[in-house]
A and B are shown apart, each in its own frame.
Chain A
């Protein structure tokens, strides 16, 4: 097995592949940095361009965009509080406060290093675990998926924000938004009010852009045109040297990367969940948890290494089983099949050069972030931000419009995005956390569908939800999160 891994190294290092790695990473960073353009869309848009290429070059581009965009999403998250990608939500928590404290450069450098480290660890996990982990993933049936989704939802609702009631209400609101549309199991329409648009349900990307990108732009528009962004604060300052960063963050990086890798292996959950879980873990482990959310670099390190560590590991179930771990993995799968490569165990024996070459490419593009992420991307992006806000507002709104329109080519989506934007603005002003809403949209339907599949399979035997060992493990984790949180609140109550 490892022979084929090293035999594929020269393939990944051939001239065309290296060029595609550079181009892909740069394009990925820029696309990730533009709010509204997310990696899924970027890769979907790039795929047709790769048909003419050799699969190795095509996959090199894909690997670059994938890793590049995961870091790119952090740039506007840190500088503008607009996550460029869904996975950068957790990066805004401390990244933006750092910018406000005049540490934007340090935040970007931390994000760059964290993304690279997370990506490297993830690629190594992909190389070593891919063949071994097939069996574990298969043991996950509807029951296990149900518990994973519930775990993700409850832990986010409870851990994000200050008020549990508000977190839960946000999450539940998201679940209801996710439930709108045709029910996949019975075929019945729910909460569609006879509207054909609603019968299709809400697209996650559109809800996300609306909730996350519009409120900050509206807030920007409300401020007077006199507030220019100070381009000076975007310089990568010397205070964060590499050795210092490594010394400060290696624990966080290791922990978050492990979380990211584990989340990536589970199909369905994406970089956003990995980032939020890593962030919460870092906050929980910290000696100074109150500093999180006010500009603690550890928060940025945790979020960015977590979401990047999700990337390559999401390819593990895709490449071994042909079952994508997330949307990007599904697209990579599509790219493989278009080049006539059938995913599955055979892929490793029939086309080892391509599959192991792709693993190397994931590793190299993660390393390239250190080279391209710091210097080039940040400076390019800082130029964009010299714009007066009166122009930044309309140009960002145009980007969102074009981003949403190209998802499905439907004008109604633009109005829906704006409506979610106003809702997000209101919720934000009323101090409801927005991350649980988005995760509710994603995980709510997943939990429901798998619960009902489990019931169909077991013929309505509710006990079957609790008998399988993996389910019990996840339930134990869930209870642990709930009890620690309850204990914290009790202790706080007694102190008051």
Chain B
């Protein structure tokens, strides 16, 4: 009897799901792969966006955290997934534009289907309150005058933060020793404990300590200054806007996803980010909205990949 009921239940649900057409999409939960551990910055923004995205799409979104290999593991997994629009990637730029230069990967910006970018933020460099510099200019001069003296914590080989720092250091002929930590949290702890001299990482985790006077942030890696960090100089203020390296987030899909479905998601993201709560959240994270869709997004990925490839070549970090 039970089996009969189950069979009819299954048959019924199969029947209701029958008219499968593109305009029906999505009709079941969507899996979102986040190539970073749960609780990190990328994960938080992705989950926050999902909350509003689910309202727009009328289907639930499940986040799968597939961390490892600088994000390459998660992106490899999506590259192999079915392009039916039920498995999507929510990532930041480094796994797509940087990691392929350093590791063997199974994907490239050329094959993944670009959906839309979402937001971006800069990195910052902070020092202890007794560091002999009060401005971005003094900070760089101090580093220049003491080659090999200072250590800076960063997010590891192939991380965008390290790349941003190396680009600036190269232009200023600075020699500082990179110490690769697992992420901004670990870097911050070691910086606060005095184990490394300079904090290099995203802005949000450092903010409370700036307010407390336990850290002074002197540099942001975007061209513009950052409102949240008045003491820090943007790269334009230092006369080098071309050195800008930012962290930005986007949604991608496996190769060959139906264009109509891509548009469904991109449209939903465009209206989801309009929620005032989401915008307030972004502001609190030091991020700004940035929506670039489709082929334009692919072009942005192309340009960044080429530029980063050149930088890495110059730094002697390029492997592939």
Complex contact flag A–B (Cβ < 8 Å): yes
Stretch at the interface among A29-37, A148-156, A331-339, A476-484: A331-339
Residues of chain A with a CB closer than 8 A to B281's CB: 340
CB <8 Å contact, B180 and A342: no
CB <8 Å contact, A330 and B196: no
Residues of chain B with a CB closer than 8 A to A367's CB: none
Is B176 engaged at the interface, CB distance under 8 Å to the other chain?
no
Q: Of B31, B44, B70, B189, which one neighbours A409 at CB under 8 angstroms?
A: B31
Residues of chain A with a CB closer than 8 A to B196's CB: 457
Is A185 engaged at the interface, CB distance under 8 Å to the other chain?
yes
0/1 interface trace, chain A 391-418, chain B, CB 8 Å (1 if under): 0000000000000001011100000000
CB <8 Å contact, A340 and B43: no
Residues 79-112 of B at the A interface (beta carbon under 8 Å): 87, 102-106
Is B294 engaged at the interface, CB distance under 8 Å to the other chain?
no
Q: Of A47, A51, A342, which one neighbours B207 at CB under 8 angstroms?
A: A342
How far does the Cβ of B267 sit from chain A's closest Cβ, in whole Å? 22
Q: Of A187, A324, A408, A453, which one neighbours B77 at CB under 8 angstroms?
A: A408
CB <8 Å contact, B193 and A140: yes
Is A344 engaged at the interface, CB distance under 8 Å to the other chain?
yes
0/1 interface trace, chain A 410-432, chain B, CB 8 Å (1 if under): 10000000000000000000000
CB <8 Å contact, B47 and A338: yes
0/1 interface trace, chain B 31-42, chain A, CB 8 Å (1 if under): 101000111100
Is A321 engaged at the interface, CB distance under 8 Å to the other chain?
yes
How far does the Cβ of B251 sit from chain A's closest Cβ, in whole Å? 17
Residues of chain B with a CB closer than 8 A to A48's CB: 47, 50-51, 60, 62-63
**How far does the alpha carbon of A51 sit from the alpha carbon of B54 in the complex, in Å?**
12
Residues 180-227 of B at the A interface (beta carbon under 8 Å): 180-182, 185-186, 188-190, 192-196, 204-205, 207-209, 211-212
CB <8 Å contact, A410 and B66: yes
0/1 interface trace, chain B 300-319, chain A, CB 8 Å (1 if under): 00000000000000000001
CB <8 Å contact, B38 and A338: no
Residues of chain B with a CB closer than 8 A to A95's CB: none
CB <8 Å contact, A200 and B73: yes
Contact residues on A (Cβ < 8 Å of other chain), bracket:
35 or more
Residues of chain A with a CB closer than 8 A to B39's CB: 324, 330-331, 333-334, 337
Residues of chain B with a CB closer than 8 A to A388's CB: none
Residues 207-237 of A at the B interface (beta carbon under 8 Å): none
Is B247 engaged at the interface, CB distance under 8 Å to the other chain?
no
How far does the Cβ of A135 sit from chain B's closest Cβ, in whole Å? 9
- Say yes or no: A199-B33 contact (C-beta < 8 A), given A334-B39, A337-B44, A346-B211: no
CB <8 Å contact, B151 and A334: no
CB <8 Å contact, B192 and A409: no
**How far does the alpha carbon of A201 sit from the alpha carbon of B212 in the complex, in Å?**
39
Interface size on B, residues (CB 8 A): 61
Q: Of A141, A201, A267, A449, which one neighbours B195 at CB under 8 angstroms?
A: A141
Residue of chain B at shortest CB distance from A44: B38
Is A182 engaged at the interface, CB distance under 8 Å to the other chain?
yes
- Say yes or no: A142-B195 contact (C-beta < 8 A), given A186-B157, A457-B179: yes
CB <8 Å contact, B204 and A342: yes
- Say yes or no: A321-B51 contact (C-beta < 8 A), given A453-B179, A453-B181: no
How far does the Cβ of A51 sit from chain B's closest Cβ, in whole Å? 5
Residues 345-403 of A at the B interface (beta carbon under 8 Å): 345-346
Residues of chain B with a CB closer than 8 A to A467's CB: none
**How far does the alpha carbon of A456 sit from the alpha carbon of B178 in the complex, in Å?**
8
**How far does the alpha carbon of A142 sit from the alpha carbon of B181 in the complex, in Å?**
10
CB <8 Å contact, A323 and B77: no
Is A196 engaged at the interface, CB distance under 8 Å to the other chain?
yes
Residues 57-72 of A at the B interface (beta carbon under 8 Å): none
How far does the Cβ of A406 sit from chain B's closest Cβ, in whole Å? 8
CB <8 Å contact, B65 and A323: no
CB <8 Å contact, A51 and B51: yes
**How far does the alpha carbon of A386 sit from the alpha carbon of B70 in the complex, in Å?**
47
Residue of chain B at shortest CB distance from A182: B69
CB <8 Å contact, B103 and A199: yes
How far does the Cβ of A453 sit from chain B's closest Cβ, in whole Å? 6
27 residue pairs A–B, Cβ–Cβ below 8 Å: A48-B50, A51-B47, A141-B190, A182-B70, A184-B156, A184-B180, A184-B182, A186-B157, A187-B70, A187-B158, A189-B103, A330-B37, A331-B38, A333-B39, A334-B38, A334-B40, A334-B44, A337-B39, A340-B284, A342-B204, A342-B208, A344-B209, A345-B212, A408-B64, A408-B66, A453-B179, A456-B180
